[in-house]
Amino acid sequence: MGASHTRTEPNEFQDLMDKTGFSVEQIKNLRKRFLQLSGNEETISRENLDSIPALANNPLKKEIINAIFDKRNQHESEVGSFQEIGFEQFLMVMSHFRPPTLKTTPEEKEALRKEKLRFLFNMHDTDNDGTITLDEYRKVVEDLLSKSGAIEPATAKGIADAAMLEVASTNVPHMAPDEFYEGITFEHFEQILKGLEMETRMHIRFLDVGTATMRCGRSTS
């Protein structure tokens, strides 16, 4: 990945870089992987992702695949999900997992955090009504526990109920007994996960040959 190569393809990746914030090396690596996954096609479908062997053990496999194909994560106002996605959409989804850099200002960090939280929120809020209801939350807990052997559904329900109760009590301290807490809104979601410092936790180290500083000049993440 010497300087000579980048000379020939700057335009191709330039707008991708601008949109997603990845560096050229990262985009190249991801492109290689994309082609590998799709069998050298231009788009990936769900079956391609399903067939990744390592994902089989992951309890959240379905959710992850759904999230990748979810239109809401494309930063456009559409809803629903794709059948197949192209490389650009793939990159958009992956861009949610970029870490902040030393140069990121606090406002940018805040925006980054909101973006990542929104990604998580979309994963939970499957019917896209803007709130995570108790049922949806229960489903989350069940999925988490799904690969851990035979769990009584009552346990998962208990945990989800307790968690929901906690969200409700932290965010809406006083509710009359006949009021009903509809579900977790995005603001409440942000509130309860405040302590986790999402902007630094939710990241992947994208394979990045050049940027481990040895390059003079541009320092990306």
Partner 1 sequence: MAALALRAPRSSSSSGGRSAARLAGLLACVLLLAAGASASRDEGSGESNGTGRDPGRVAEPGERDLHPRSNLTAHKKAFPVLSFNYEHVRKPFEISLWILLALLMKLGFHIIPRVSSVVPESCLLIVVGLLVGGLIKAIGEKAPVLHYELFFFYLLPPIILDAGYFLPIRPFMENLGTILVFAVVGTLWNAFFIGGMMYAVCQMAGAQLGGVDLLSCLLFGTIISAVDPVAVLAVFEEIHINELLHILVFGESLLNDAVTVVLYHLFREFSQAGTVTVGDALLGVVCFFVVSLGGIMVGAIYGLLGAFTSRFTSHTRVIEPLFVFLYSYMAYLSAEVFRLSGIMSLIACGVTMRPYVEANISHKSHTTIKYFLKMWSSVTETLIFIFLGVSTVAGPHAWNWTFVILTVILCLVSRVLGVIGLTYIINKFRIVKLTKKDQFIVAYGGLRGAIAFSLGFLLTNNEMKNMFLTAIITVIFFTVFVQGMTIRPLVELLAVKRKKESKRSINEEIHTQFLDHLLTGIEEVCGHYGHHHWKDKLNRFNKSYVKKWLIAGERSTEPQLISFYNKMEMKQAMMLVESGSSAKLPSIVSSVSMQNIQPKGPTRGRAIPSISKSREAEIRKILRANLQKTRQRLRSYSRHDLLIDPFEDNLSEVRFRKQRVEMERRMSHYLTVPANRQETPPVRKVCFEPEHQVYTYDTEAESPRGRAAQTHPSPPDAIGLMNEATPRPNQSSALPDKDETELRAKAPDDQEEQLKLSRCLSDPGPNKDEEEDGSFVS
Per CB under 8 A, contacts with partner 1 among 169-198 are 169-170, 172-181, 192-193, 195-196
Does position 35 interact with partner 1 (CB under 8 A)? The reply is no
Positions 48 through 77 that interact with partner 1 (CB under 8 A)? 49, 52, 54-55, 57-61, 63-64, 68
A 10 A CB-CB count for 31 gives: 16
Min dist CB 111 to partner 1, Å, is 17
**Measured at the alpha carbon of residue 117, what is the angle toward residues 69 and 72, in degrees to the nearest 5?**
30
Q: How far apart are CA 5 and CA 28, in angstroms?
A: 11
Min dist CB 88 to partner 1, Å, is 16
Q: Which is nearer to partner 1, 17 or 192 (CB)?
A: 192
Min dist CB 38 to partner 1, Å, is 12
Min dist CB 92 to partner 1, Å, is 13
Does position 14 interact with partner 1 (CB under 8 A)? The reply is no
Stretch that binds partner 1, among 3-11, 13-21, 79-87, 153-161 (CB under 8 A): 153-161
Positions 104 through 133 that interact with partner 1 (CB under 8 A)? 120, 123, 133
Q: How far apart are CA 56 and CA 66, in angstroms?
A: 15
Q: What one-letter code names the amino acid at 89? A: Q
Q: Which one of residues 109, 145, 190, 215 is an interface residue with partner 1 (CB under 8 A)?
A: 145
Q: What is the largest CA-CA distance in the chain?
A: 69
Q: Which is nearer to partner 1, 92 or 202 (CB)?
A: 202
Q: How far apart are CA 146 and CA 132, in angstroms?
A: 20
Min dist CB 216 to partner 1, Å, is 13
